[in-house]
Amino acid sequence: MTSKIIFSSNKLGVITNDQLQSMLDKFNLGRLISSRNTEQGVMKQTRFVFSTEGEFVFKGNPLYPGQLIEEKFFVEELRKQTNVNVPTPYLLDDSDDIFGWNYSLMPRLPGMHLNSKQLSSNLKRQDKFKIAGLIAEALLDFHSWKGSQYGDLDTKDLTILPFEGSYATWLYNRIRYWFNDAKKYSQITTEDVEWVEAILENAKCTFEDLSSPTFVMGDFKPGNFLVSGESNELHISGVFDFTNAYFGDPISDLIKMITIYIDKDEIEVTKHLLSHYLGGSVEKEGYRQRLQVHMLHQRILDWGCAKAIGKVTWDEDLPFSDWAARYTDTVAKLID
């Protein structure tokens, strides 16, 4: 379930102090001092809770059955499998007696979001390169966790449920599904379709040859990790939100950060991220093709969503293939 694309959420709604205190009492976490909404919780499922025993992140009203069970699984496994700081202990209450739905409680991690005004406004050029390298290192650490098969977590027995067909089949079907969905909200031309199919065909053999299922966070972006320290002391102090995690092709986790850097015209920072992640001794050809497909996938999702909700931030008359080619061409050139 984790790899499913979700565009809407169940918001927390009105939460009372009495309810929060009952939650703290259940876990012996002191007396409530205050609480407030998290700044970057896009899904509106989270809230900061401050008590006499510490600072916590409260997450509730799950998007789907098992959401918090699988997030707890991934957090606890990543704590064991990697050195990346994740929010543990991850406390889970399966009952609905306090809020009417189950919820989780985890420690608030230190640091600031990369896109926070306080941090981003003070970053020097060398700091941006430093952080790009840190992102690569964190993802490499995550991706050291290998699985036995490509698929999602089955929360019934905490095993990996294989995708229908091969990973390549699952990925290509997903891309084509959302591309067809985008036709409901925007003009997709024959030229656009031919361009998309050419990228997919060019990479088909590369994806069919993949044989190492790897942990994929699925949503590595500024809102889901924190940075601490000054200049040379900068470090990633925490990563969270594993609602989209599954086992697949690890380099797909690079795409959201690459997109952000391209949008800011920070091409050299993008190149540093890629070179740091890929290293100097790998065969680049397969990576180039796979990155183009993963970028295409993300561009289709972003295009369709923006067109559907009427929040297009680019020239409305620009054909999809022309718009998306800026990103797919850039990653191809940076791998050369």
Domains and CATH numbers, the chain: 17-107 (3.30.200.20), 112-335 (3.90.1200.10)
Residues 6+ apart with CB under 8 A from 180: none
| Band (121; pLDDT cuts 50, 70, 90) | confident
pLDDT of residue 118: 87
Least confident of 124-133, 205-214, 277-286: 277-286
DSSP 266: -
The pLDDT of residue 269? 97
The chain-wide mean pLDDT, for the chain, equals: 93
Q: Tell me the pLDDT band of 193, cut-offs 50, 70 and 90.
A: very high
**What is the band of 282 on the pLDDT scale with cuts at 50, 70, 90?**
low
Average pLDDT over residues 1-19: 72
Give the pTM: 0.94
pLDDT of residue 246: 97
Average pLDDT over every residue of 306-335:
95
Lowest mean pLDDT among 8-17, 87-96, 139-148, 171-180: 8-17
pLDDT value at position 283? 59
> 315 or 63: whose pLDDT is higher?
315
Q: Provide the percentage of residues in the chain whose pLDDT is more than 70.
A: 94
Q: What angle do CA 74, 78, 80 make, to 5 degrees?
A: 125
| pLDDT for 123 beyond 60 | yes
- CB-based contacts of 39: which residues, under 8 Å, 6+ apart? 113, 116
pLDDT at 2 over 90: no
Walk across the sheet containing 151-154 and list its strands: 159-162, 151-154, 246-248, 214-216
What H or E segment, with its residue span, contains residue 162?
A: strand 159-162
**pLDDT, average across residues 246-260:** 97
| Residue 6: per-residue pLDDT | 54
308: confidence class by pLDDT, cuts 50, 70, 90: very high
Say how far apart CA 192 and CA 198 lie, in whole Å: 10
Helix (H, G, I), strand (E, B) or coil at 3: coil
pLDDT of residue 10: 64
Residue 161: the pLDDT is 95
What is the rounded (10 degree) CA torsion for 253, 258, 261, 265? -170
Residue 51: CB partners within 8 Å, gap ≥ 6? Answer: 24, 29, 30, 31, 32, 33
Sheet holding 112-113, edge to edge: 112-113, 225-228, 235-239
pLDDT of residue 117: 87
pLDDT category of residue 65 using cuts at 50, 70 and 90: confident
Specify the range with the lowest mean pLDDT, choosing from 7-11, 25-29, 140-144, 169-173. 7-11
Query: What digits encode the pLDDT tens for the residues 213-233?
Result: 999 999 999 999 999 998 778
Give the pLDDT confidence score for residue 39 in this predicted structure.
79
Neighbours of 319 (CB within 10 A): 16
Instruction: For 20-38, write each residue's pLDDT tens digit.
Output: 999 999 999 999 999 998 8
More reliable by pLDDT, 252 or 5? 252
